[in-house]
Amino acid sequence: MKHPPGRPGPPSTPRLPRRARRLVTAGYALLALAVGSDLATNPDFTLSPVLATAPVLASIGTRRARVPLVTGLAATLLIVPLLAFSDSGVPLAVHLTSGLAVLGVTCVSTANVVLVATRERELVRSRSVAEAAQDTLLRPPPELVGGLRTAVRYMAAAADARVGGDLYEALATPYGTRLLVGDVRGKGLDAIATAAAVLGTFREAAYVEADLTTVAGRLDAAMRRRRPREEFVTAVLIGVPGDGGPAEMVNCGHLPPLLLRDGRVTEVETPVPQPPLALLELVGDVYHHRTFAFERGDLLLLYTDGVTEARDTAGVFYPLAERLAGMPETAPGALLDRVVADLVAYAGGALSDDAALLAVRREA
């Protein structure tokens, strides 16, 4: 059955791990053994209370409420033959108590399945919203932007997260291609809202401001309007003219980009350190830019500290520049795939912070 767009269907029953399946099978075997023993030996006592475990076993791993419900009702009916075959010395009240116990556990097990299924549907719905937010905030840039071939990779530290405080953008503007990579101080919904504000301002200012430092100033002003939240953003802005001239950079307290040329990796450093966005007024200054050679075939890598602050088992930070120099890939997408795989392996499969990478290669 198809479900309307935006409305997730019922969650499917997950496959239990092998060890869990073995334990459940053992539980059913013990239950069958107890019932069979009760029917075959006609003891002067009854094992009918163990039937209360049947709906519990049936509820493990399923997302369909009728499974424990039907199992519990069947277990309740099974008390009738146990009553008929049991010794007359077993009080009727014992069997009645067993029946009530089975029905009570059946209700609880069924309610638990309904609750788990409802929460999983809510999680699916939340993930759908997160994916829509990611598509809006962190939309992948085209493969070709101006004269640049681009690729981007984003890794959220939280397993179920799709967006966070890292941000990136690549835009073709009347003043050439403009790039942005940033990192919001903090986490959670406030960080996402701040990232949205920075990206929205950049997408508008990059098209209308000829001076890249003015774009940075507008980003700082937008962040200052959010100062009651005590937030700031480190960011690096790159402008690449379409006429083949040198690129320019405004670095707002961010990590220096890496320039890969003929197998050599160098940092594009800022001569004078500059504050993050929202903190410019503290130094009473304006942002300054610097130019650098960015020639055809060169690759520029912008990244956030989630990459360089990843640690191995010995606590050593990931040496991005050193690793990058030893990678033979020259296409941005292939290179970032190699970096991500190497980073995840280095960190033991899990990152402690969100990480974003934007790679661009000058084609013309």
pLDDT in tens, 263-302: 899 999 988 889 999 999 888 788 999 999 999 999 999 9
CATH superfamily assigned to domain 140-362? PPM-type phosphatase domain (3.60.40.10)
Write down the pLDDT at residue 3.
41
> What was the pLDDT predicted at 34?
77
Average pLDDT over residues 151-168: 74
- Using one digit for the tens of pLDDT, what is the confidence trace for 210-226? 999 999 999 999 888 87
Q: In the chain, what are the domain boundaries? A: 18-133, 140-362
What's the rounded Cα separation, in Å, for the pair 124 and 74?
33
Please give the single-letter amino acid code of residue 272. V
Q: Which pLDDT does position 8 carry in this prediction? A: 47
Distance separating the N- and C-terminal Cα atoms of the chain: 51
Average pLDDT, the chain: 84
How much is the pLDDT for 346? Answer: 92
For range 147-156, the mean pLDDT: 90
Q: 15 or 140: whose pLDDT is higher?
A: 140
Residue 173 confidence (pLDDT): 94
What is the structure's pLDDT at 4? Answer: 40
Q: What is the 3-state secondary structure (H, E, C) of 60-98?
A: CCCCCCHHHHHHHHHHHHCHHHHHHHCCCCCCHHHHHHH
Mean pLDDT, range 79-89, rounded to an integer = 68
In this predicted structure, what is the pLDDT of residue 152? 94
Residues for the chain: how many in total?
364
- DSSP assignment of 230-295 equals ---EEEEEEEE-TTS--EEEEEEBPPPPEEEETTEEEE---SS--PPBT-GGGTT-----EEE---
Which of 72-76, 147-151, 328-332, 336-340 comes out lowest in average pLDDT? 72-76
pLDDT at 1: 39
The confidence score (pLDDT) of residue 172 equals: 94
Whether the predicted pLDDT of 65 surpasses 80: yes
Asked if pLDDT for residue 41 goes beyond 80, the answer is: no
61 and 106 Cβ atoms separated by less than 8 Å? no
Alpha carbon distance 332, 203 (integer Å): 23
